[in-house]
Structure 1
């Protein structure tokens, strides 16, 4: 067992370090919610005398990547006490967590960075962006009343199972397959959120949005539609709050938000912001089960540079009749070279290899780079959850 893994008895020390490190105020709800995360995570820590010097969560999840389910551990609450800072404690815990992920057959890892540069040292790379859509009340578009269907408003704690299923059915771009405990945790953490459910005339759920408000701003946290009727119903529901709030904000997980669908894009402030990072923990498993986009590929040798020794190889990849054949080919001459971070961008569909080669982050035979680029998905990933 890893000597840095913490047990039930260390919860109070971990929680106290969290409060101090992130300048949070203690409350019964905050402690309860934090305990939920602690109980479902691998919690790592290094003691500094009688106190905890550094700590982090490694939270087991599963994600859906273009129809393929992969184990993914989310890294969260990376922290060090100021008197213990600068001694490499958090970095040591990060490496231990990654090693344990590999042992436990975890393929991917995500995290929300406080510094992109810091986490790139551990092989993580930016792959998720959000689009924040902000519009003032007086600039909201006019939406006709729908001739069919209706909207039901409920507390977040009352969301039905059919909503959870709708989320899962439309989560296939790298997002989290929310398990029961994670749903419960989210609902407990955001107990002040509300939901609006759109139904058709046959009482079938066709869309939903989850929202909350702060002061004079209406925030849309999550919005899924099955059809134009759902979009019309829920958009009209939002606009009916026009007299209550002065500003409306929607943070969409889609980085390619379609501003052209708005009546007047100039009235809307659209901002694309970096969101979270990802890391390929087990490249062999990721590629062997990857949703490849070509049916055949002549053998390509590519050199991957990584701090994780099991990924740090020259690999031989070929595809025959849609079947992937991947093998360690150390000693062979590589057709192209790249880092695990660059490969992560390409495999997640964030930026293709041809573009990356233009920026000099992929080196090698351009025809081989082009061939390998066609193997990977081109649709950019989307992630709503935060940890």
Structure 2
């Protein structure tokens, strides 16, 4: 039995530590939402006498990476009581969570870091960025009226199933396949949010945005479009709030969002900010089911340095007619060597292996590095969800 896993009846201990560690105010809604995560997570805790000293969530998800679904556990609310800090409690729990993920056939893990350096010790690496676009109300673009389609505004609690289906069809860059409980959790957590739904003339949902407002700022939380009609309908909907709000902010999961999409690029302030980190938990499975970009590859031997012993090997990769063969090749000659963090950046498309080699993060035969690089996607991943 795992000595670090907490029982269902230990919720109050975990919740109390959360409130104190993150300086949160208790409320019925906060407790209810937190309990939803507790019920659907592997919850780890380390006791300090009769009190809980450290804790974290390991939340089971599934993600879509270019059409391939992988199990992913999201790490959240990593915390330690001040009197228990510095004793390595959180480190013990995170290492145990990673070991359990591997045993439970989980391939990947994501988390939102309080410190990038701290989580790099555990093999996590920065791969997700967001672009924050800010426009003042007097600089909003002029949007022409559409001669087709319409927009319907609803409370977040009243979003239709079609919206959830539209979301699922658009998140193949490493985004979360939202299960029903996660949707319900999000709607409960953000009960003050609203949604604008774009329909065509046949009443088919072609796009949506989820938004909220605070004081004089209009925030767009999520925006998806199937076609230009939806884009224009929803953009017009946003600009119709020009007289109500002074500032409009859209935090896009697309790290390459460009202001040239606007009629006046100077009208917007665009800032790219780091968002979340990822970790390859089971490298062999990630490689064997990876959606390849190259149908053939002569055998390449590469050494991966990792704190997880099952990943810390020399591996051989060979591709023939689109079928990949991955084997443990310890003892063989090595064509290139890199850390699990560097490989994560390359496999997720955050950086190419070639560029990482130029930065000195990959060592070895440049021709082999270039050959292996052709297998991987070079489109940056995108993630909206937060945990």
Distance 1:134 1:179 in 2: 31
Please name the residue that 1:280 is paired with. Answer: 280
What's 1:258 paired with? 258
Distance 2:238 2:200 in 1: 18
CA distance in 1, matches of 2:276, 2:8: 29
CA distance in 2 between counterparts of 1:260 and 1:31 reads 43
How big is each residue's C-alpha offset from its partner over 1:113-158, in whole Å with a ceiling of 9 and x where there is no partner? 0000000000000000000000000000000110100000000000
What secondary structure does 1:127 align onto?
Answer: strand
Q: Provide Cα deviations, 1:65-123, integer angstroms capped at 9, x if missing partner.
A: 00000000000000000000000000000000000000000000000000000000000
Tell me the secondary structure at the aligned position of residue 223 of structure 2.
Answer: strand
1:54 aligns with 2:54: yes
- Could you report, residue by residue, the CA deviation over 1:155-187 in whole angstroms, capped at 9, with x for unpaired residues? 000000000000001110000000000000000
Which residues in structure 2 correspond to 1:173-212 (within 5 Å)? 173-212=173-212
1:320 matched residue in structure 2:
320
Aligned residues: 387
Aligned mates of 1:122, 1:90 — CA distance in 2: 11
Corresponding residue SS for 2:164:
helix
* 2:148 aligned residue: 148
Deviation at residue 38 of structure 1 after TM alignment = 0.2
Aligned to 1:382: 382
* Displacement of 1:263: 1.1
In structure 2, the residue matched to 1:43 is: 43
Distance 1:261 1:342 in 2: 32
Q: Which residue in the other structure is 1:367 paired with?
A: 367
Following superposition, the deviation at residue 234 of structure 1 comes to 0.2
After TM superposition, the score normalised by the length of structure 2 is 1.00
Hey, what's the Cα distance between the residues in 2 that align with 1:254 and 1:358?
A: 25
TM-score, length basis structure 1: 1.00
Task: State the alpha-carbon separation in 2 of the partners of residues 130 and 258 from structure 1.
Answer: 12
1:241 partner SS: coil
Residue 221 of structure 1 is matched in structure 2 by 221
Q: Specify every segment of 5 or more residues in structure 1 that has no aligned partner in the other structure, as ranges.
A: none
The corresponding residue for 2:351 is 351
Cα distance between partner residues in 1 of 2:296 and 2:45: 46
* Equivalence map 1:323-342=2 (5 Å): 323-342=323-342
Displacement of 1:333: 1.1
Shift of 1:43: 0.3
Cα distance between partner residues in 2 of 1:15 and 1:251: 29
State the Cα distance separating 1:258 from its structure 2 match: 2.4
Structure 2: how far apart are the matches of 1:377 and 1:143? 35
Q: Distance in 2 between matches of 1:8 and 1:197?
A: 38
Superposition map of 1:15-26 within 5 A: 15-26=15-26
Report what 1:88 is aligned to: 88
Between the aligned partners of 1:22 and 1:50, the Cα distance in structure 2 is 21
Residues of 2 paired with 1:385 and 1:363: CA distance?
Answer: 34
C-alpha distance in 2, partners of 1:204/1:7? Answer: 45
Provide the secondary structure at the position in 2 that maps to 1:224. strand
Question: In structure 2, how many angstroms separate the alpha carbons of the residues matched to 1:171 and 1:272?
Answer: 20
